[in-house]
Amino acid sequence: MSDEANELSPRRRRLLFRAAHRGTKETDLLVGGFVSDRIEAFSDQELDEVEEILELPDVDLTDWLSGRRTVPAELQTPMMLRLLEASAAPGAGIPAAMRKS
């Protein structure tokens, strides 16, 4: 764990770990990358929303984030929409260290 991650609150560290260890590599990269890039700035309400997303089945998240299926209307929260937008960006899920400049 980096020094930066060690400075996070226990809740934020736990969410960061859960986001990057979902079960499928694709979702680990997309959700984990999204959370990692923003974890320090999330408000308590946003952390609650991230926790709700992390409770969703991995198989569904993978399909929604890849665009294979549409997210059900009742799950289209502001945080889910931010995650979908980030996942659709070019290079989404590719760690910064591996991206070409």
**pLDDT for res 94:** 78
- Domain boundaries along the sequence of the chain: 3-89
And the tokens for 101?
A: 């400049």
Q: How far apart are the first and last CA of the chain?
A: 25
Q: Are 31 and 66 in contact (CB under 8 A)?
A: no
pLDDT in 10s for each residue of the chain, 101 residues: 455 556 899 999 999 999 999 888 989 999 999 999 999 999 999 999 999 999 999 999 999 999 999 999 999 999 999 999 999 988 887 777 776 65
And the tokens for 34?
A: 């999204």
What is the dotted CATH code of the domain comprising 3-89? 1.10.150.250
**Stated length of the chain:** 101
**pLDDT for res 97:** 73
Q: Are 18 and 53 in contact (CB under 8 A)?
A: no
**pLDDT for res 30:** 93
**pLDDT for res 101:** 57
Residue with tokens 């400049």: 101
Instruction: Give counts: helices (H), strands (E), the chain.
Output: 6, 0
Burial class (CB in 10 A: 0-12, 13-18, 19+), 38: middle
